[in-house]
Amino acid sequence: MFRATTPDSAKILDNSPGRQPASKPGPLAGLTIIEMAGLGPAPLAALMLSEMGARVVRIERMASGKAFLALPPEHDLDRHGRSILKLDLKRPEGIALVLRLLEKADVLIEGFRPGVMERLGLGPEESQRRNPKLIYARMTGFGQQGPLAGRAGHDLTYLAYSGVLHAIGPSDGKPVPPLNLVADYGGGAMFLIAGILAALFETSRSGKGQVVDAAMVDGASMLAAPFFSFMAAGFWTDRRGSNLLDSGAPFYDTYRTADGKHVAVACLEPQFFAEFAKLLPLEQRFAAAQYNRSMWDGMREAITRRIAEKTRDEWAALFENTDACVAPVLSFSEAPQHPHNLARGVHVKAGALERPAPAPRFSRTPSATAAPPAADEATAAVLERLGIAPDDIEALAKAGIVGR
pLDDT per 10-residue tile (average), the chain, 404 residues? 38 37 80 94 97 97 72 90 95 97 97 97 98 98 97 96 97 96 97 98 98 98 98 96 96 98 98 98 96 97 98 98 98 97 95 93 96 83 93 94 86
Specify the pLDDT at position 23. Answer: 61
Structural domains of the chain ordered from first start: 32-63+73-224+376-399 (3.40.50.10540), 252-337 (3.30.1540.10)
340 catalytically annotated: no
Q: Which of the residues 78, 88, 106, 184 is marked catalytic?
A: 184
Q: Which residues contact 205 (CB under 8 A, 6 or more apart)?
A: none
Q: Which of the residues 14, 75, 76, 154 is marked catalytic?
A: 154
391 catalytically annotated: no
Specify the pLDDT at position 69. Answer: 75
